[in-house]
């Protein structure tokens, strides 16, 4: 599958194969949805680094229950919407995580269980993700990490070194 951006064909990092049950839920709850396109620079970066997912579709186990959950970035009504779909028995439960202006430089990342990161907001100490988490990456804004905790998604800003330093002043 290819995405179109500014009338030019853009190859995907990985084909965006939205599973049929996820597609059915999106069709029902967001009738005019389509997968959010990614800028050519983003798809090129995904290919170069060998990401196993598409910039607008991530599969993980966000609540560590052993089931495949999904995060999907869609376009709907002129907005770019990030939806997490949690597997619950034979169906999916929807959680709308973000709704912003459309931006082809915004993409999703998967932070796998056990991967390392640094807590820039509180302690500046390294930690490991206790379960898969969703990264919502912005070009000119601080990324947001969504993780499952206490039966819901919580988010925290993922400050870069310079941002963390300037906030401490």
Q: List the single range of 57-66, 115-124, 127-136 with lowest mean pLDDT.
A: 115-124
Residue 109's domain comprises 12-168
**pLDDT of amino acid 167:** 56
Return phi, psi of residue 101, to 5°. -60, 145
In a domain? residue 3: no
CB 147 within 8 A of CB 113: no
Within a domain: 6? no
SS3 149: strand
- The answer as to whether 5 is a domain residue is no
Radius of gyration of the chain (CA): 16
Are the beta carbons of 108 and 135 closer than 8 angstroms? yes
State pLDDT tens for residues 2-56.
Answer: 332 222 223 344 457 899 999 999 999 999 999 999 999 999 999 999 998 999 9
Per-residue pLDDT averaged across 71-97, rounded? Answer: 95
Tens of pLDDT, residue by residue over 142-154, are 899 999 999 999 9
Q: Is the pTM of this model over 0.75?
A: yes
Q: Which residues contact 84 (CB under 8 A, 6 or more apart)?
A: 62, 69, 70, 71, 94, 95, 97, 134, 146, 153
Instruction: Give a yes or no: residue 141 inside a domain.
Output: yes
What dihedral angle (degrees, nearest 10) is formed by the CA atoms of 2, 112, 98, 107? Answer: -30
In a domain, 111, yes or no: yes
CB neighbours of residue 39 within 10 Å: 19
Domain tally, the chain: 1
């Amino acid at each position: 599958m290819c995405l179109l951006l500014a009338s030019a064909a853009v190859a995907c990092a990985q084909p965006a194969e939205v599973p049929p049950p996820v597609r059915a839920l999106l069709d029902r709850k967001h009738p005019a949805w389509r997968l959010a396109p990614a800028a050519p620079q983003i798809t090129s970066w995904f290919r170069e680094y060998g990401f196993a997912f598409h910039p607008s579709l991530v599969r993980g186990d966000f609540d560590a229950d052993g089931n495949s959950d999904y995060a999907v970035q869609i376009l709907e009504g002129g907005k770019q919407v990030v939806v997490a779909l949690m597997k619950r028995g034979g169906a999916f439960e929807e959680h709308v995580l973000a709704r912003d202006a459309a931006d082809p430089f915004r993409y999703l990342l998967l932070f796998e269980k056990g991967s390392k990161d640094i807590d820039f907001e509180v302690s500046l100490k390294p930690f490991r993700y206790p379960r898969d988490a969703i990264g919502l990456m912005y070009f000119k804004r601080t990324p947001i990490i969504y993780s499952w905790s206490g039966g819901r998604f919580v988010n925290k800003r993922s400050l870069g070194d310079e941002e963390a330093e300037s906030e401490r002043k």
